Amino acid sequence: MESNQPNNLNRNFSQLLRHRLKRVNGRVNAPNFPKFYGLLAAIILLVTTVIWTLLSANLQQINADQIVNSYLFENSKTFHGATFPSSHSFLLKWPLFYLINLFGVSGFSLALFTGLISLFTIGFLAFIIYRIERRPLYFGTLYLALASVLLLVPPVPYPGALLPANLAMITTRNLEYLLYIASLILLIKAPRVKTFRFGVATSLLALLMASDRLFLTLSVGGALLAFVFYRLRGSQKLAQLSAKWLISGLVAFFGALVGLWLINFSNLTSIASQSNVGPFGFVHSLKNVVLGSLYAVLGLFTNFGANPAYDTVIVRNIPKVIQSRLLGLGGVTYVINLVILAVGILASTQILKTGRDQNRAEGAIDRPSKLAAVLIFSTLAAAVAFIFTNHYYAVDARYLAIGLFAGFISSAVYLRTKNLSPSKLIFAGALLGVGIILGIATSVRAHTTSSSALASMKDRDSKVALAILHHPVDLLLGDYWRVVPIKFMSQSSMNVMPFSACDQPLDALSSKAWQPKLDNKKFAYLLSYDRSLTSYQNCTLDQIIARYGRPNTSSLISGSLKNPQEMLLFYDSGINKSAPTIQDLTHNPSTVSPISIDNLPNTFCQGSTILNIVAHQDDDLLFMNPDLLHSLKGNSCIRTVYLTAGDAGHEQYYWLSRELGSEAAYSNMLGYSGIWVKRIVQLSDNAYIRVDNPRGNSRVSIIFMRLPDGNVNGSGFRAANYESLARLEA
């Protein structure tokens, strides 16, 4: 009896398993299950799109390209004086930039519009897939495949990059692809050149080419490739379609040039002139062709979420990174996406083969197949341009994103001729579901890694914004990639003057309204010694001084006074009018670089000198007035020493504001409306004080020792490690 017990258990388990499988099959074969499956897949695609879009939008909030266009629409004067690059004017999205500015350029508005753009783009692609293949199990599986792919398309080419890699950025190509596909659909439906549909399609292409010169390459280049291919294969009707497409592209390019010329001629705004057809020149070596070919393949993989080494810019490291990531959390999803890409390539080759055999079956290819074919040739044109133009291949996979649309539309066309068993499709859907879950985790991890890589820049931008909040200026000068995000962070009315070089204002993506004369403007210049955070080459303090004069004060943003990485230089009276009237005895300005106390000017006083030593910035005003005021009126020299920073446990910009308050009080007592010169004095290796004077007035000096505030009971504050004068005495 006991020996039969295991057999009975196995028999019962087998019966239970068969019963469960029968119930599952019954539900799968239920009439409403396919509709439920398709609806669930659509919801999953929607939710995952929101996830990767919001993650990407968060990263791009310190990307100047994401922000600047909306600022160019802040008022008519700025827009009228603006200059947009001809290769990528974003003409199509000008209404969006205006709306964002109308809402207010903020993190919320940028995320909102980025989300809407992504949802509309993916929704349109999903709609096309549905129009081609309406069987719920089929389009549902394609939706799940699309969700899996999009989750692993990276937001940026590598951690720390300020470039988009996926579709989730306002100023990258997303809606443009929809307009391009719509124009191709109209061209396919147009029976002849002289038809309304042909005219509308050509007009849409003209708008696209005026907005983004890449679509000239996709359209004209794709049409040429298609025409040659179908002529060689003897497919007369498809060759005629290609010729019609080519004519439309050439006419559209002429229309785009005329449209941009009219914008310049009308003085509405400015489009920068450019002699090249695209933004890049051609390659001049076989090495670059080979490298471009390799990264073109990897770029296609990246756009299908199937490139584990998407962020590897050194070729020899690619195999090692691929191996590591395939064994990691997202390995399963990468493999699944690779299979999806393979299906897309198979579908594309079958569609091209159908076109090749057109002479034997004239009715074999219909409009969806024609759409897939022209998108395939557009992808090939993009790949050829990618390989043979001179650019940084490793970070430019986004130029091949048309392949994503071509691949999924081709897959939909291919699958509609197949009759797969429901169980196979559902099994594929289950695998895709697992891949999506792992893909979400991988996407979040990639966002965390990229966010950490940008943390240093974000922290510095935040510090600059705080410094300007407490020391307001009319204008911030500096690298385009820094000052535009700083304006965004500050959420103030401060204007910026973006630079392309050390003292060279940016031509495009800027405005003449942002480039006023600096003679009487209160401005600050952001000087970065750290080359990793600026595109400048060899920009030095001497160059800035030669161009703008010596600043009257500065603020350390990063590094130390001995070894600064970034400084904010203040010119409170404008260009060449903010320097101390008494020149420093050292080469470098004492308002930026520390000097010894022996080199400190304004130390001699011909009359009597009153020395005040107080703890906080307002103690002299509260406890020594009106005697202090009378001494100033009596032409005595005043030397006031503030021992502590008066920080009260707050960050540095709090007590810097208190120092500005002391200066304002002394200016009021002196009847002085000018600026203050603020010198940095080094007492020892790591001990510095600041000595401030009204510009041109040696009678008054206020000295900030900046020792930690000790709290009311001498216990100190956490921000200063509980240091205090009381503990020093103990």
Predicted local confidence at residue 477, as pLDDT:
95
pLDDT at 66 over 90: yes
State the pLDDT at residue 651: 79
Q: How far apart are CA 367 and CA 191, in angstroms?
A: 12
The DSSP-derived string for 223-238 is: HHHHHHHHHHHT-HHH
Look at residue 607 in the predicted model and tell me its pLDDT: 79
**Chain centre to alpha carbon of residue 546:** 33
Residues paired with 693 in a beta bridge: 677
Distance set, CA 489 to CA 82, 494, 598 (Å): 22, 11, 41
Mean pLDDT of 625-646: 86
The model's confidence at residue 728, banded by pLDDT at 50, 70 and 90, is: low
Stronger pLDDT, 535 or 87, i.e. the higher one: 87
Confidence of residue 300 (pLDDT cuts 50, 70, 90): very high
Residue 115, pLDDT > 50, answer yes
Instruction: Note the Cα 90 to chain centre separation in Å.
Output: 16
pLDDT interval class at 362 (50, 70, 90): very low
Task: Tally the residues of the chain.
Answer: 730
Instruction: Output the pLDDT for position 4.
Output: 58
Contact 574, 522 (CB under 8 A): yes
Q: Residue 484's pLDDT band (boundaries 50, 70, 90)?
A: very high
- Find which of 263-277, 350-364, 406-420 is predicted with most confidence, using mean pLDDT: 406-420
Residue 269 has pLDDT above 90, yes or no: yes
Is it the case that residue 363 has pLDDT exceeding 90? no
Look at 326 and 8; give whichever has higher pLDDT: 326
Average of per-residue pLDDT across 514-529:
91
Q: Do 463 and 144 touch, CB atoms closer than 8 A?
A: no
User: Which helix (H) or strand (E) element contains residue 34?
Assistant: helix 33-59
Q: Is the pLDDT of residue 730 over 60?
A: no
Would you state the pLDDT for residue 656?
A: 86
Residue of higher predicted confidence among 31 and 465: 465
d(CA 331, CA 497): 45
> What count of other Cβ atoms lies within 10 Å of the Cβ of residue 361?
9
Q: Model pTM?
A: 0.88
pLDDT at 361: 47
Q: How far apart are CA 728 and CA 730, in angstroms?
A: 5
**Counting Cβ atoms within 10 Å, is residue 38 exposed (0-12), middle (13-18) or buried (19+)?**
buried
Q: Reply yes or no on whether the pLDDT at 217 is more than 90.
A: yes
**Higher pLDDT among residues 588 and 523, named by residue:** 523
- Range in 221-225, 318-322, 448-452, 627-631 with the lowest mean pLDDT: 627-631
The proportion of the chain whose per-residue pLDDT surpasses 70, expressed as a percent, equals: 92
Strand order in the sheet with 504-505: 504-505, 495-501, 475-479, 523-528, 564-571, 553-559
Tokens of 168: 């989730």
Average pLDDT rounded to a whole number, residues 175-191: 96
CA distance 671 to 320: 70
- Residue 153 above 90 pLDDT? yes
Distance between CA atoms of 119 and 631, rounded to whole angstroms?
A: 70
Reported as a pLDDT band with limits 50, 70 and 90, residue 24 is: low
Which is it for the CA torsion 529, 535, 538, 542, positive or negative?
negative
Provide, rounded to the nearest whole percent, the portion of the chain with pLDDT above 90. Answer: 61
Q: Look at 287-301, 439-453, 602-616 and tell me which has the smallest mean pLDDT.
A: 602-616
pLDDT tens digits, one per residue of 588-603: 788 898 998 888 887 8
> From CA 165, how far away is CA 426, in angstroms rounded?
31
pLDDT class for 493, splitting at 50, 70, 90? confident
- The mean pLDDT value for 570-586 works out to 77
What confidence score (pLDDT) does residue 476 get?
Answer: 95
Give me the amino acid identity at 72.
L
What are the tens digits of pLDDT across the range 690-704? 999 998 888 899 999
CA atoms within 13 A of residue 265's CA, in its CB half-sphere: 6
Question: How far apart, in Å, are the Cα atoms of 216 and each of 88, 213, 385, 493, 722?
Answer: 12, 5, 11, 39, 65
Cα 378 to Cα 289: distance, rounded to the nearest angstrom: 20
| Confidence grade of residue 718 (pLDDT, cut at 50, 70, 90) | confident
The pLDDT tens digits for 331-361 are: 999 999 999 999 999 999 999 987 655 444 4
User: Cis omega before residue 626 (within 30°)?
Assistant: yes
For CA atoms 384, 389, 390, 392, the dihedral sign is negative
pLDDT of residue 442: 95
Dihedral sign, CA of 626, 630, 633, 636? negative
Average pLDDT of every residue of the chain: 89
Structure confidence at residue 1 (pLDDT): 47
Measure CA 402 to chain center.
Answer: 20
Residue 726 or 414, more confident: 414
Q: Is the pLDDT of residue 47 over 50?
A: yes
DSSP H helices, 234-392, are 236-265, 286-303, 318-326, 331-356, 367-388
pLDDT at 608: 86
Q: Which two tokens stand for residue 69?
A: 């266009």
Cα angle 568-639-678, degrees, rounded to a multiple of 5: 10
Q: How is residue 100 written in tokens? A: 């964002």
